[in-house]
Amino acid sequence: QAQPNARAYLLAASVLSFVLPLSYNIAQARLQNVTMSTGHARDDAKSKEKERSSFQRQSSTLSDLSTSQRQSKRTSQILKAAEETAVMGNMFGTMGFTSKALAMNQDILTLFKAEGDDFSWEAGFTLSEIYSLGPKSLEVVVKTLVGSAKLWHKIFLSNPVNEGANRMFVKCCTDALDIFEIAPAKKQLSDRSVIFPGYCFMNVIAKMMTYTPPNNMSREEFEKTLAENFVKETHYQQYHQCRALAFQADVMKRFGKYEDALSVIDEMKSIYDPQLHSRVLVKEYVTDQCSDLVAASTFWLHHFGRNDEALRLCDQVVETMLPEIESTELLTKLTILTPICRTLTNQTQTSAAKKALE
């Protein structure tokens, strides 16, 4: 059992050798030894067929085992190969070699294709391949696709005229969501948090960029379905559920359905505890969108003439939510305080607005 750990370490050392050339010979020699002993290494895309042949040879020597046992052993080998390839991909990504990181992700996804097929960003997975995924394989595929979406997005940001990258990061994200939705193995997952970053990243795309929804859906229909699925997947996981409801309210707001959004925010507030959830949400999702949406909703309430509710909610945000925001998070504080001060000022509560800014 020590070999996979040693191999992962040596893979990382090989990547580091690009910037630390003196370690190259040692890393490559040791990596070759471990590769030969395990029989399922994947150093680059050219080794795919060799690895598959190795799996087949090993299967032929296991005639005394049942079909399910052989399949379990092969799945275990694939998952180990995926984990080790991910080590290299993460190293490339950290070092800024985005294209190489994407190539590693493509190698990982190829492991879960049918025999003899390489993964294509355009073609993705067939239905039969999706249905054949086990729960752990499903997690790896979804996580890799979401990670690839972020890498394609990074390429697009570095070159905004690259329409191919623009289309590809949307496709990777929607593919991950679609696969997770239809894969039978999803029913075996008690923890479905692997897909949550996909929902959040798609929400960022929807708010900030022009994109084409899949399956000829309208943007409103697609984003509404996206939010509903996020809420459904986060049941019984409190802070994730809060984030999903905030996402749903945000989608409703974007399409002008403010009263519906206020109803969802009321539901969210019945679960959301700033002291328990705010910092955890920031750690998991970078921002606490729950406090952002509650603060924004104060002005919506004022617009609908529900002024007493708006003022009470302003007090609640200032007293219970703002203290949970780190003092260094100035942009987050500004995002929360802007609608609060606007609401208070419009209701001639200037002194309260000044106090909130202190």
Q: Report DSSP letters for 125-169, one per residue.
A: --HHHHHT--HHHHHHHHHHHHHHHHHHHHHHHH-TT-HHHHHHH
Residue with tokens 């999706």: 130
| Count: domains in the chain | 2
134 plus 212 within the same structural domain: no
224 plus 333 within the same structural domain: yes
Residue 72 lies in a domain: no
Res 235: pLDDT: 78
Res 194: pLDDT: 92
Distance of CA 293 to the CA centre of its chain: 21
Res 166: pLDDT: 82
Tens-digit pLDDT profile for residues 137-188: 999 999 999 999 999 999 988 888 888 888 898 899 999 999 999 999 999 9
Alpha carbon distance 50, 195 (integer Å)? 32
185 plus 211 within the same structural domain: no
155 plus 252 within the same structural domain: no
Confidence of residue 257 (pLDDT cuts 50, 70, 90): very high
161 plus 248 within the same structural domain: no
Alpha carbon distance 194, 138 (integer Å)? 10
Q: Which range of residues forms the domain containing residue 354?
A: 207-358
Short-list 80, 81, 145, 155, CA closest to 119: 145
Of 68 and 26, the structure prediction assigns the larger pLDDT to 68
98 plus 216 within the same structural domain: no
Query: Residue 16 corresponds to which tokens in the numbers above?
Result: 């580091």
> In Å, what is the CA distance from 179 to each residue of 46, 123, 206?
27, 13, 20
Residue 27 lies in a domain: no
Alpha carbon distance 139, 147 (integer Å)? 12
148 plus 250 within the same structural domain: no
Residue 32 lies in a domain: no
Residues 6+ apart with CB under 8 A from 11: 31, 84, 85, 87, 88, 91
Domain end (from 140, 161, 190) = 190
Given a contact cutoff of 8 angstroms between Cβ atoms, the answer to whether 183 and 232 are in contact is no
Res 23: pLDDT: 47
354 plus 292 within the same structural domain: yes
Short-list 325, 257, 256, 250, CA closest to 294: 250
* Average pLDDT estimate for 276-294: 91
278 plus 334 within the same structural domain: yes
- Residue 336: CATH number of its domain: 1.25.40
pTM above 0.75, yes or no: no
Q: Is the pLDDT of residue 39 over 80?
A: no
165 plus 226 within the same structural domain: no
Q: Is the pLDDT of residue 2 over 50?
A: no
338 plus 213 within the same structural domain: yes
Domain end (from 190, 217, 241) = 190
Res 8: pLDDT: 65
130 plus 264 within the same structural domain: no
